[in-house]
Amino acid sequence: MLLTFLALFLLTPQVTRAQDIILTGELTRSDNETYRAIPVAVPEGVERITLGLSYDKAEHTVVDLGLWDPARFRGWSGGARDRVTVATTDATPGYLAGPLPAGTWQVMLGVPNIRAGTRSRYRVLVWFDRAGGRAAAAQAEGAPLRTGRAWYRGDLHLHDANSDGSCATRATAAAAIRARVPCPLFRTVLAAAAAGLDFIAVTDHNTVAHFSALRELQPWVAPLLLIPGVELTTFHGHANIFAPSRFVDFRLAGREGVAALQRDAHAAGALFSLNHPGLPSGERCMGCGWTWPDTDWRQVDAIEVINGAVTTGPMTGLTRWRERLNAGDRVTAVAGSDNHDPDGVTGQSRVGRPTTVIEASELSMAALLDGIRAGRVFVDVAGTRQRLLDLSATAGGVSASMGGSLPLCGSVQVSTHVIGGVGAIVRLLGDRGEMSAMQISDADATVTTKLGKGAATKWLAAVVERGGEPLLIGNPIYLAPCDRTVE
C-alpha cells in the first residue's frame, strides 16, 4: 500500500522551506464520479512545481490526481501517486516536463468512488522552486536512500543514448552481427548497480533530455542514487554540472565568456566541475582540454583529476588541479569513468573506474554535493569497493581533516589513514613539493608524519601509489597563517 503524503513529508529531511500554498476542501457523495478543478496561481520565474495530496481514505474513498497548466494538459497519475513534480527539465512519470508559464493552473481531483454519507477532507500542498531553489526538488526526491554518515562511492561522468553513448544491440538467434546503436540509459544504470556503486551522475552533452528517465528509474534501482548532470561541452573545454534546476545554455560561453556560463550554472543550483582539463585541444581533440582564458577559478567547485583509464602523465587533471591549489584556490579533486559503453567492449574504462568517494551525512543528492563542496572526497583510481584514504593534521593544538583549514601555528603532525594499500607508498604533497614518502605495511594503516615549519604554506594532501601508479588521491587540508601567538 502506498504511503500517505504526510508520512513521506515527515521522512524528508532535505526540506528547508514550508510549502507555498495549501489547498483544502471536502468531498461528498455528490462528487462521486466527477472531476474537481482546483485553481492554483503560479507566479513568474517558477522552475519546478511539486504537489502532495493527502485525503481521508476511510470508507473506500478514492481520489485521483492530475495537473493542467493555463493552456494544456501536464499530467495524470490517477490514484497511483500522491506526490508529483513538474519542472522545465523533468517530470514524474505520467507528467510532461517543459516551461512553467505564470497564470492559473488547475490541480484536477478525480473521484472514482465516495460512498453515500461519507465526507472526505483533502489537502494539497504546493511547492514552487525559483532560481536554483531546492524545496520543491527535495519533496520530489523523498527520503534519503541511506541514512548515516559514511563514505559513498560513485561515478560522476557517464553517457548514454541521449548524447554519444553506444553499445551493441541485444543478441538474438536471428542476429549474426550485432550492430552498434545509441545505448539506452537503463543499461548504464544496470552496469552501475552491478559494480556496487552508491551513486552515479549521468552527464550527457549539453542536454537535460535524460532527466525524466532518471526520475523514472530511481525508485526501481534504489538504493543506487541517480544524479542528473550535464557535460557542458564548449569549443574550449568541457565541464560537468551536477543537479541543475534547469537547462543551462552552453552557448552562453561563446557569447559572454565562460565566467558568465559559470555564474549561470551556479544560479541554477549546480556544482561546476572541469572535465579532463589536461587533454589536448584543436583537431586532435576538439574542445577537450580546458583553454578558456577568462575562467573564474573562484567559481570552479571541482576538477576531474582522473578521467577514464588515463592515470598518469600530462593528460590527467592532476597538474592543473595542483596549479590551482598553489594559486590559493579551493578546488575539490574528483574523477569519472567518462564511460560511453556500459558493456566495455570498446576498450573504455568500465562504469565505476575510477570511483569518486564522498563522505556525506546521508545518501542524497544534497548531502553528496555538500560533501564535494566540503572537500571530503578521495579518488579510488581502480574503482575498488573497500579502499579508503583520509587525512588529518594538528598544529598548535588545533586539528583539521581533509577538506578543512588549519592555521600554521608551529609544527604540523599529520596522520594518513589508508585501507587496502599494503605494500604501496603514501606520499605527502604540498605547495612546496613532496614532504614525505612511507611504505604501508598493514591492510588498515595510519601513517604519521611531523612536518617542520615552512614545509608547506598553502595546502597538504596525500596520495597512495604503487609502482608509480596512483591508487588513491586525497583532497587537501588547506593551510593558513597563524592567527595567534604560539608559546
Question: 18: domain CATH number?
Answer: 2.60.120.380
Vertex 424 angle, CA 347 and 154, to 5°: 45
Tell me what the mean pLDDT of segment 277-300 comes to. Answer: 95
Q: Is the peptide bond preceding residue 223 cis, with omega within 30 degrees of 0? A: yes
Whether 131 and 231 share a structural domain:
no
Whether 105 and 188 share a structural domain:
no
Whether 205 and 118 share a structural domain:
no
pLDDT at position 175: 59
Query: For residue 134, what is its C-alpha cell?
Result: 531546492
Chain segment 145-158, per-residue pLDDT in tens:
999 999 999 999 99
The count of domains in the chain is 3
- CATH number of the structural domain spanning residue 287: 3.20.20.140
Chain segment 337-354, per-residue pLDDT in tens:
999 999 987 678 999 999
- CATH number of the structural domain spanning residue 418: 2.60.40
pLDDT at position 18: 80
Whether 268 and 411 share a structural domain:
no
Residue 194 has pLDDT above 60, yes or no: yes
Q: Give the residue from 356, 385, 414 where a domain finishes.
A: 385
Q: Are 84 and 95 in contact (CB under 8 A)?
A: yes
Whether 177 and 218 share a structural domain:
yes
Whether 74 and 211 share a structural domain:
no
Q: Give the residue from 353, 385, 417 where a domain finishes.
A: 385
Whether 369 and 239 share a structural domain:
yes
Among candidate residues 326, 263, 275, the one with its CA nearest the CA of residue 479: 326
Question: 136 pairs with which residues across the strands?
Answer: none
Chain segment 351-397, per-residue pLDDT in tens:
999 999 999 999 999 999 999 999 999 999 999 999 999 999 999 99
pLDDT at position 29: 98
| Distance from C-alpha of 272 to C-alpha of 231, rounded to nearest angstrom | 10
Q: Give the residue from 91, 122, 141 where a domain finishes.
A: 141
| Alpha-helix residue ranges (DSSP H) falling in 328-475 | 365-373
pLDDT at position 176: 58
pLDDT at position 17: 64
Whether 80 and 106 share a structural domain:
yes
Q: How confident is the model at residue 177 (pLDDT cuts 50, 70, 90)?
A: low
Its domain, for residue 447, covers 386-487
Residue 9 has pLDDT above 50, yes or no: no
Residue 332 has pLDDT above 80, yes or no: yes
Chain segment 234-269, per-residue pLDDT in tens:
999 999 999 999 999 999 999 999 999 999 999 999
Query: For residue 70, what is its C-alpha cell?
Result: 493555463
Angle between helices 211-221 and 185-194 (to 10 degrees): 40
Q: How confident is the model at residue 172 (pLDDT cuts 50, 70, 90)?
A: low
Percentages of the chain per state (helix, strand, coil), in multiples of 5? 15, 40, 40
Tell me what the mean pLDDT of segment 1-16 comes to. Answer: 35
pLDDT at position 412: 96
What does DSSP say about strands 405-408 and 377-380: parallel, antiparallel, or unpaired?
Answer: unpaired
Residue 320 has pLDDT above 90, yes or no: yes
Chain segment 96-106, per-residue pLDDT in tens:
999 999 999 99
What does DSSP say about strands 146-158 and 199-205: parallel, antiparallel, or unpaired?
Answer: parallel
Query: For residue 71, what is its C-alpha cell?
Result: 493552456
DSSP assignment, residue 94?
A: T
Residue 7 has pLDDT above 70, yes or no: no
pLDDT at position 272: 99
Amino acid letter, 289: G
Whether 370 and 483 share a structural domain:
no
Handedness of CA 195, 200, 205, 207 (dihedral sign): positive
Among candidate residues 255, 221, 258, the one with its CA nearest the CA of residue 238: 258
pLDDT at position 344: 80
| Distance from C-alpha of 477 to C-alpha of 401, rounded to nearest angstrom | 6
Query: For residue 78, what is its C-alpha cell?
Result: 490517477
Residues 6+ apart with CB under 8 A from 304: 156, 157, 240, 273, 274, 275, 276, 277, 317, 334, 335, 336
Q: Are 84 and 8 in contact (CB under 8 A)?
A: no
Greater model confidence, 172 or 383? 383
| Distance from C-alpha of 473 to C-alpha of 322, rounded to nearest angstrom | 12
Q: Are 338 and 349 in contact (CB under 8 A)?
A: yes
Q: How confident is the model at residue 160 (pLDDT cuts 50, 70, 90)?
A: very high
Residue 486 has pLDDT above 90, yes or no: no
Whether 255 and 381 share a structural domain:
yes
Residue 13 has pLDDT above 70, yes or no: no
Greater model confidence, 15 or 428? 428
| Distance from C-alpha of 467 to C-alpha of 329, rounded to nearest angstrom | 30
Residues 6+ apart with CB under 8 A from 377: 332, 333, 334, 356, 357, 358, 359, 371, 402, 403, 475
Q: Are 111 and 36 in contact (CB under 8 A)?
A: yes
What are the φ/ψ torsions at residue 54 (nearest 5 degrees)?
Answer: -135, 150
Whether 115 and 200 share a structural domain:
no
SS3 per-residue string spanning 132-201? CCCHHHHHHHCCCCEEEEEEEEEEEEECCCCCCCEEECCCCCCCCCCCEEECCHHHHHHHHHHCCCCEEE
pLDDT at position 485: 58
Across 11-20, 411-420, 445-454, 475-484, the highest mean pLDDT is recorded for 411-420
Whether 292 and 418 share a structural domain:
no
Length of the chain: 487
Residue 64 has pLDDT above 90, yes or no: yes
